[in-house]
Copies of this chain bind each other. A is one copy, B any other.
């Protein structure tokens, strides 16, 4: 944006937004120039805070008129640089569009604005005996979660973000407003735009309203911690539980090193061994039978201890410990930045992949832990690195690459839930092959000037960044 241009754009924006909805303050720009990842900060030229779909539409029309890039922004909790404005331009912050618009109990649906956070939504839904299942580590906005197809600990039972989206209101590059779906539980009408826009990382349009599927809070919940001598034993126990058909709601792996971080950060005294955090949802009789069966299975995999957390407070503490693990690491390594790997593999390849990751962490002398949504075949290595030490950063990047290549060679994906952003772009050709051309064609058809979050996810060949 040139200075002359900037004045014209500002004037044009002020026709549709109040002065306080537009900011060029340096601190505000810095807050919108980074996310929770190690990726390098870049500043937007300005930040706007729309309140309505109409305002977002006007912003997009101005973006098209002046050919200015636009980056949609939720809370900035992305982990691969998704919200960093690679080419400057306008960042659209959705924090003022944060209302829960409608709860339809009978239909198990909720309609929200994209700036609503998952904890805000769950607080509202609790009044109706409902909950929203998807729970990434961060208290992200639902718009951001849809943009990256986020998931978390419950997807093994309830599915990922994409499975919950019934309809999105989307403002397209030219300012047109569309709806990608409807309120029916299923549809075979037209092309499946819901699925296409979820995970598009702001590159196809801006979400301004979302209708999401919610669930009844389960009648009974049992949580358990099971400790194993090795990570391999723990992962193999999960495979056996899944094969036995036990309908598990959550099953998380936390390795020994990460259990130490959990205890330090949360002041807990859990066994510092490779541990599975498990949860079961259902009716009382069914759960009792499931849990007994689960105990038999884990004992067949050298399980050393199973501890149950039946009351709500202890269970919440357990999951709080799991959810804050990334922050536990950040807290434990002051001054360092975190890199998180995010591959997902067929479950039969998971034990091998986790073993490969641990071997490489040791060989490469990197401090870090391994945690994972093992029921999905998705795991993370959390590596702490000193950004002022280029050799250490390069080593961490080399580690990430080894993990990704291992997964891609075995039918997996470079990212199970964090998204591509900037960090996973270099693997897209290897992962998708000719399908990447198809993705590029779709992007070019819907955003011909490449103004929507340029340089992220798939990169337009025609006007790519870098």
**Residues of A in contact with B (beta carbons under 8 Å apart):** 104-109, 148-151, 155-156, 160, 162-163, 172, 176-180, 182-196, 198-200, 204, 215-216, 218-219, 239, 242-243, 245, 247, 282-290, 293, 342, 344-348, 376-378, 407, 411-420, 424, 427-428, 431-439, 441-446, 457-458
Contact = CB atoms under 8 A, between A and B. Distances in A.
Nearest to A245: B216
Contacts of A284: 289
Contacts of A378: 184-186
B191 A458 contact: yes
A450 to B, nearest CB: 14
A219 B105 CA distance: 32
Contacts of A184: 344-346, 376-378, 407, 411-413, 416
Q: Which of A148, A191, A437 has the most CB of B within 10 A?
A: A191
**Copies of this chain held together in the complex:** 2
Contact of A438 (B160, B172, B215, B458): B172
Given A216-B243, A348-B104, A377-B185, A432 B190 contact: yes
A377 B200 CA distance: 29
Contacts of A417: 186, 188
B107 A435 contact: no
Contacts of A155: 185-186
Contacts of A106: 239, 243, 346-348
B346 A188 contact: no
A432 B176 CA distance: 13
A438 B413 CA distance: 28
A276 to B, nearest CB: 17
A149 B285 contact: no
Nearest to A194: B195
B189 A428 contact: yes
Given A189-B414, A191-B458, 14 more contacts: A105-B243, A107-B348, A149-B187, A178-B435, A182-B411, A184-B346, A184-B377, A184-B416, A185-B377, A188-B419, A189-B413, A283-B293, A285-B289, A286-B289
A434 B162 contact: no
A283 B427 CA distance: 43
Contact of A189 (B348, B420, B438, B444): B420
